[in-house]
Structure 1
Amino acid sequence: MKQSIIALFTLILLAVSCKKDETRIVYTAPQAVASFTSTTTVKVLDSAAKSSVALGFNWSSVSYGINASITYTLQFDTAGGNFSTPSTIIAGTDTASAAVITNALNTIALARGIKGERTGKLDVRVKAEVLQNGSSALTSSIPAVYSEVISITVTPYSLPATYLYVLGDFQGWSLTNPPVIADTANSGKFEGFVYCPTSGGFKFLTELSWDKPYWGYNSSTTMEQGVSGNLYTSGAGLFRILADTKAKTWSATSISWSLVGDAVSSDWVTDIPMTYDATSKTLVANPVTITSSGGFKFRADKSWTLNYGLTNGSIVLNGGNFGVSQTGNYKVTLDLNDLANLKYSIEKL
């Protein structure tokens, strides 16, 4: 009798196990999104046609072998990037094409560091994923797949920069000609370089009036509008100030600048320091010997993470080399007061 009961219990377990097997959902992950193509790989954008389609993309639909909706997203990155923080455009669900409007592509190009009226390259790919429970806010346990990367050559148009004014203890909280940080891509991300002779508090103003919206301290990394607490700098010197009015984040980091290159030293490792001149509000290296056979760039904190070069007559991030036609002693200045209008000078002594 005892053996019969055990046998019956074993059969029940087998039945339950079989029932579970019958309701399991098994998917087959595709290898990639195939046949990813673009209507063109070279595009000059025109502000007069900002609502028109700039690029069209097509791809082959993927299947996971289950009844599930597939969401496709275009991802854009700087040429040679790894798509760790891409700009994105959601193409839609269960679709095999997408049209990108001129204004959207222009915003992405500017945000990726391509200057207006300058030609640069973007990498583009399409991502396919199953958004479980119908929400992109949830992490999917089903792996996403991607297409091959297409390289796009694009020339964006310039947008008028927007500014935040920086008022604080360092300049007596004066509304007269305060320093600014700039958003050059209309992305809500502002950046600038501000000299503070003393440590102290500051705020961001959207207009030169305390009756207009301003930003103050919420935490060491976040800010809020209309609050009484001050943002702050630690110590004196030149600071790189960042503010994101969409993410409500901020930072103020002490920074130094130098010249580097085989025109000012024997290699591209040795830095020639620049000093801040409070009268001209510029960074200065004077005197510095520059040879005509080499080149140089400006870089921050003796690192290539942030550097400026010369491309098509304009100072740009990661640009080409500066140079002189005649070897000699020079005074070199760099004006970082307006990120939308960077200036430099090389004056022979």
Structure 2
Amino acid sequence: MKKAIYSVLLFSLLSLLFVSCQKDMEKTILVKPASIQGFSASVTDILLNPDNKTQTVVTFKFEEPSYGTDVVPSYSLQFDIPSDTTGPDAWSKAVVVRLTGNAVERSFNGADLNALLVNQLNMKPGTKADLAVRLVSEILKTTGNPSSVAPVYSTITIAVTPFEDIVIYPALVVKGGNSWITPPPGERAPGYVLTSAGFNSKYEGYLNLPDADGWGGDAFQLVSSTDQKVYGWGTSATTIAEGGGNLWLTPSPVYMKVNVDLSTNAISYTPASFSISGDHNSWSTTETPMTYDVTAGVLKATGVSLTAGKAFAFIGNNSWDLSYKVDEDDKLVFAGPPNWGGNNIVVPATGTYTIILDLSRGAGNYTYSLTEE
């Protein structure tokens, strides 16, 4: 009899334990929401201008989706050109802005939104265009990687008109080492800066190393304009490290293109010489060389005879792989691989010109000029 009672009690306890565990398991099962409700923009037609740079111009809001249990999703906003939101590479070029904590709204002032549109999405200032904005809700593991629960999306489209602004790009500024005396990094002096035109981890600029130490090499460090971190020698001549000693490069003096990627701590140096290739010399990549003016910090060619309506481009190292042309707004742009972009520069009037190529202010700030002699 006692044995039977014990068996009943044991069965009851096990049943209760099973039910309890089952409930606990049910509580921890994540259920993907069907959608994200209420995703909207406070303004759907935004005209940006210098007067609203410091003002809030738009706020994106949404309702917190339910996953069936207490979790804190990771939210982000993706901004892209509508034509880049379809096909196999849909949204791959989007600019991603992550929301902090469990915030269910994100506001932008005019300056930040304008920089996102013009500098990161390459939208044309003064032209009204559609902007696709996608909200992403996802559950991340403690490692930061996505979980097995698929992300949930909600997309809206708004109209935006960006404006032409004076852009101050993030920069890495040269700080000379040993005998090389350079301007204070805070001055961002031309000829001593690498800039991030995409506001990301990649920096580019042209430097002329002066052989200040007198034995064929130069030493320097790079100072960040955003957080004043100092980068120097990494584990080799092609790497950098925060707090590292002097970067060392030889031979010098030499004019070169310098690229840095802070996400991989990589640095590369490409010695560069430039020439002008165009109709005037049957598109020769060597016939019209440019010389580097050390005092002015620019590349120059004088006595160049050009004909109105004809065209030319700037060629580096006798190859179109390093070349510069102009965009629709006559701004100098990289014309090499992989995109091979830009348009040839059209000569405004027949004459003999001094042509200047100024690469001293970092990527995004390259300019040229034609002065009739």
Q: Name the TM-score class by shorter chain.
A: 0.5 to 0.7
The SS at the match of 1:238 is strand
Match of 2:361 among 332, 338, 342: 338
Deviation at 1:181? Answer: 0.7
Cα separation, partners in 2 of 1:213 and 1:80, compared to 1, 3 Å: same
Match of 1:215 among 212, 226, 231: 231
Letter in 2 for 1:93: N
Aligned to 1:180: 192
Percent identity among equivalent residues? Answer: 19
Aligned to 2:291: 277
Q: Which moved more, 1:71-80 or 1:312-321?
A: 312-321
Task: Give the alignment's TM-score, normalised by structure 2.
Answer: 0.61
CA contact (8 A) 1:331 1:346 kept: yes
What pairs with 1:296-315 in structure 2 (closer than 5 Å)? 296-298=312-314, 302-303=320-321, 307-309=324-326, 312=329, 314-315=331-332
Letter in 1 for 2:99: I
CA contact (8 A) 1:191 1:243 kept: yes
Cα separation, partners in 2 of 1:160 and 1:71, compared to 1, 3 Å: closer
Cα separation, partners in 2 of 1:316 and 1:283, compared to 1, 3 Å: same
Deviation at 1:163? Answer: 6.2
Cα separation, partners in 2 of 1:290 and 1:178, compared to 1, 3 Å: closer
Deviation at 1:74? Answer: 1.4
Aligned to 1:192: 205
Cα separation, partners in 2 of 1:40 and 1:129, compared to 1, 3 Å: closer
Aligned to 2:43: 39
2-structure distance, mates of 1:259, 1:91: 49
TM-superposition CA deviations, 1:127-183 (whole Å, max 9, x none): 4232335x58333333324444746432263255666135368xx513368831154
Deviation at 1:221? Answer: 2.6
Cα separation, partners in 2 of 1:55 and 1:214, compared to 1, 3 Å: same
Letter in 2 for 1:191: E
Deviation at 1:193? Answer: 0.6
TM-superposition CA deviations, 1:243-299 (whole Å, max 9, x none): 46x7583523314555567x5688xxx673564523354334566664533544446
Deviation at 1:72? Answer: 2.4
Deviation at 1:223? Answer: 2.3
Tell whether 2:149 aligns with 1:142.
Answer: yes
Aligned to 1:13: none
Letter in 1 for 2:347: V
Q: Which moved more, 1:81-90 or 1:31-40?
A: 31-40
Deviation at 1:323? Answer: 1.7
CA contact (8 A) 2:74 2:138 kept: yes
Cα separation, partners in 2 of 1:72 and 1:118, compared to 1, 3 Å: same
CA contact (8 A) 2:276 2:289 kept: no
CA contact (8 A) 2:73 2:137 kept: yes
Match of 2:137 among 111, 129, 135: 129
The SS at the match of 2:309 is coil
Gap regions ≥5 residues in structure 1: 1-15
Task: Give the alignment's TM-score, normalised by structure 1.
Answer: 0.64
2-structure distance, mates of 1:193, 1:31: 49
2-structure distance, mates of 1:173, 1:257: 25
Kindly tell me the number of residue pairs found equivalent between the two proteins: 318
2-structure distance, mates of 1:195, 1:75: 39
Cα separation, partners in 2 of 1:194 and 1:80, compared to 1, 3 Å: farther
Aligned to 1:10: none
CA contact (8 A) 1:119 1:153 kept: yes
1-structure distance, mates of 2:82, 2:251: 36
What pairs with 1:98-109 in structure 2 (closer than 5 Å)? 98-109=106-117
Aligned to 2:95: 86
Letter in 1 for 2:102: T
Cα separation, partners in 2 of 1:120 and 1:344, compared to 1, 3 Å: farther
CA contact (8 A) 1:124 1:152 kept: no
TM-superposition CA deviations, 1:289-342 (whole Å, max 9, x none): 6453354444665248x7452665654666665322335665532111123754
Q: CA RMSD in A?
A: 5.0
2-structure distance, mates of 1:34, 1:292: 57
Tell whether 2:112 aligns with 1:112.
Answer: no
2-structure distance, mates of 1:68, 1:325: 63
CA contact (8 A) 1:80 1:123 kept: no
Match of 1:203 among 220, 237, 245: 220
